[in-house]
Amino acid sequence: MSQSRFWWLVVGILVVTALVYSPALSARYYLDDLSLYSDPAMMPGGAIRVLDLARTRTLTYASFLATFRGGGQSAALDHGVNLALFLLLIALAARLYRNLIGGRAALAAVAVAALHPIATEATIYVFARATLLAALFAIAAWSAWANKRYWLATLLAAFAMAAKEEAVVLPLFIIGFELIYRRTPVRSLKTLAAPLGIMAACGAFFAGSVIYAAQVTPDSGALVGLDGVTSLSYLQAQGRALWLYAKLLVLPTGLNFDHTVAVSSGFDLLAATGWLLIATAVAACFFWSSRWPILFLPIGALIFLAPTSTIAPLGDIAAERRMLLPLLCLAPVVGYFADRALPGRRLLNVIAVFAILLGGLTYQRASTWQDAEALWGDTVAKSPTKARPKLHLAGALAERGAITDPAREALLREAVLVEPRSAGAWGELGFFLLQRHRTAEATDAWQMAHDLAPDDPTLAVNLGVVLADAAQLDEAEVLFREVLQRSPCQFDARNNLLYVLRSRGDLEAVRALALPPEGCVLPAGQMEALSRAAGL
């Protein structure tokens, strides 16, 4: 296949990809997207906070800051940027694949990588831009290394790590690529020691920054403080998660924004069997790689999964967005063997058929993401034992007004039933009840939430508000002051404490409290609200 024809066909695949993802351009913000632009780094004068040692994914946050400063808070803009990054990623992958396995095989690989629906979460979920950027720079680094531009590859690898910590395994992947795919003798790696050493040092730095951030950031959802999930139990659960990923790759139905994967503290036979089968598959790939070097790439896919799917506990046991880089590793394996099994035009015909099938599934999934009620309804149906989807479906129903109140309350009560130790579920139930003027029930719900998560400032403030409304000012004041002692920049605690103090006529304390401590970066609207609460 000529180079010009190859690239025209790649452009065709990119156009189809843009079309099947087009519903995502009108999608909403979800989960971490919702708090993205309340981050202090997005506030005026807060850009320097992107470089905080306690913050990971510096490059990703810089991209969010750039889009925010350029176009404001716009879901359409953010989804458009994500889609553009994905299309650029596929174009870079096409160039790499063509150099590795030839034009015909590369074309099949590009179709799989671009149109497989398992990539939808990484592309559509705005907060997953970290995954997109890490994959983009990782593929660029791999391509540069394959072309023997080692120092450029090292620089690009550092950018990948700065986008997302999962890329810290790039040095290991590159070493495997040299030893297994290229069959480079171990002694010859000495000539590459300098770029590999610097790449490994970058990996160590970014891995260390993640560990530090997890330790100093409350409720980080990573590595420490996960309720009932140890490194061993998480590792065991990944035996289930990895085979879930394998199933979604082969049969991409049942895609789910919030998968349920069992975590057991005892011996889990199914998870252990999963790990045994994975080990067997790795051994087989290694054994047959002497004949087919391309079989290094399934091993490479597992290398890229290692940071999230081994011993470092994360809040989500399984997440489809983690499969983007592994998919980019596995796609050329599919292309390579398809090229050898299907001579002549048969390969192009098969590519066309699979592009239609995969593209249809991806379009359907992107359309589900387009509507919050549809996405969370789908997630509740597929993960009925998880509280989080129920909470978000209840929130999505709120937009249709009081007519959905019975359904919302049922979902919230189901959430606390399936996860009785979920402080967030009790808090959402309390908020709903307070809006319906069922104050006594709301107080009980928020008290339960606060008891489960006494260090959560939002839950403490909510409980304080309902206590203050019930004229229990002393108890409310204690809660507000406890929050401010831990988080001096917390606006809601400061604002509500001002009202409590004003109601007592303690004007001196009000004036002292109205001005946040130095170093707190609050939006102008919040500063004005504090002035009003203080009566200034």
* pLDDT of the residue at 225: 47
Alpha helices in 217-268 (DSSP H): 231-250
**Phi-psi bin for 259: left (phi > 0), alpha (psi -120 to 50), beta?**
beta
Within a 13 Å sphere around the CA of 238, how many CA atoms are in the beta-carbon half? 23
Instruction: Find where tokens 């925010």 sit.
Output: 68
* pLDDT of the residue at 525: 80
**Angstrom distance (rounded) from CA 528 to CA 536:** 10
Spell out the long-range contacts of 428-433 with Cβ–Cβ below 8 A and sequence spacing 24 or more: 428/391, 428/394, 428/395, 430/462, 430/463, 430/466, 431/462, 432/394, 432/408
In this model, does residue 226 exceed pLDDT 60? Answer: no
Q: How would you class 294 by CB atoms within 10 Å of its CB: exposed for 0-12, middle for 13-18, buried for 19 or more? A: buried
The whole-angstrom distance between residue 380's C-alpha and the CA centroid of its chain comes to 19
**Angstrom distance (rounded) from CA 121 to CA 380:** 17
CA-CA-CA-CA dihedral for 283, 288, 292, 297, to nearest 10:
0
Q: Please compute Rg for the chain using Cα positions.
A: 26
**Phi-psi bin for 386: left (phi > 0), alpha (psi -120 to 50), beta?**
beta
Backbone phi, psi, residue 454, to 5°? -65, -20
In this model, does residue 473 exceed pLDDT 90? Answer: no
State the average pLDDT for the chain.
90
403 vs 192, residue with greater confidence: 192
Say whether 254 sits in a helix, a strand or coil.
Answer: coil
Work out the pLDDT band at 222, boundaries 50, 70, 90: low
- As beta bridge partners, residue 222 has 314
**CB 174: neighbour CB atoms within 10 A?**
25
327, 353, 351: which is closest to 339 by C-alpha? 351
In this model, does residue 465 exceed pLDDT 90? Answer: no
- Cβ atoms of residues 227 and 421 within 8 Å: yes
And the tokens for 176?
A: 């495997």
325, 322, 293: which is closest to 310 by C-alpha? 322
In this model, does residue 491 exceed pLDDT 90? Answer: no
Instruction: Find where tokens 């206590």 sit.
Output: 467
Question: For the chain, how far is it from start to end, CA to CA, in angstroms?
Answer: 75
* pLDDT of the residue at 125: 97
Residue 78 sits at the vertex; the CA angle it makes with 72 and 80, to the nearest 5 degrees, is 125
Say whether 314 sits in a helix, a strand or coil.
Answer: strand
Work out the pLDDT band at 170, boundaries 50, 70, 90: very high
Q: What is the 3-state secondary structure (H, E, C) of 380-429?
A: HHHCCCCHHHHHHHHHHHHHHHHHHHHHHHHHHHHHHHHCCCCHHHHHHH
* pLDDT of the residue at 223: 55
505, 502, 509, 507: which is closest to 484 by C-alpha? 509
Region 418-425: mean pLDDT is 93
Cα dihedral sign, 59-65-68-73: positive
Stretch among 14-18, 52-56, 222-226 having the lowest mean pLDDT = 222-226
Backbone phi, psi, residue 314, to 5°? -125, 160
- Cβ atoms of residues 529 and 496 within 8 Å: no
Region 217-227: mean pLDDT is 55
DSSP state of 311: S
* pLDDT of the residue at 503: 82
Most confident of 49-53, 246-250, 262-266: 246-250
The whole-angstrom distance between residue 202's C-alpha and the CA centroid of its chain comes to 22
314, 319, 303: which is closest to 230 by C-alpha? 314
DSSP state of 31: T
pLDDT exceeding 70 applies to what percent of the chain?
96
Backbone phi, psi, residue 470, to 5°? -90, 15
- Cβ atoms of residues 251 and 262 within 8 Å: no
Q: What is the 3-state secondary structure (H, E, C) of 422-452?
A: CHHHHHHHHHHHHHCCCHHHHHHHHHHHHHH
Work out the pLDDT band at 219, boundaries 50, 70, 90: low
pLDDT, tens digit (0-9, with 9 covering 90-100), for 276-312: 999 999 999 999 999 999 999 999 999 999 999 998 8
**Angstrom distance (rounded) from CA 408 to CA 364:** 26
- Cβ atoms of residues 389 and 383 within 8 Å: yes
Say whether 222 sits in a helix, a strand or coil.
Answer: strand
pLDDT, tens digit (0-9, with 9 covering 90-100), for 328-369: 999 999 999 999 999 888 998 999 999 999 999 999 999 999
* pLDDT of the residue at 42: 75
The whole-angstrom distance between residue 92's C-alpha and the CA centroid of its chain comes to 22
**Threshold 0.85, pTM exceeds:** yes
Instruction: Find where tokens 């799917």 sit.
Output: 309
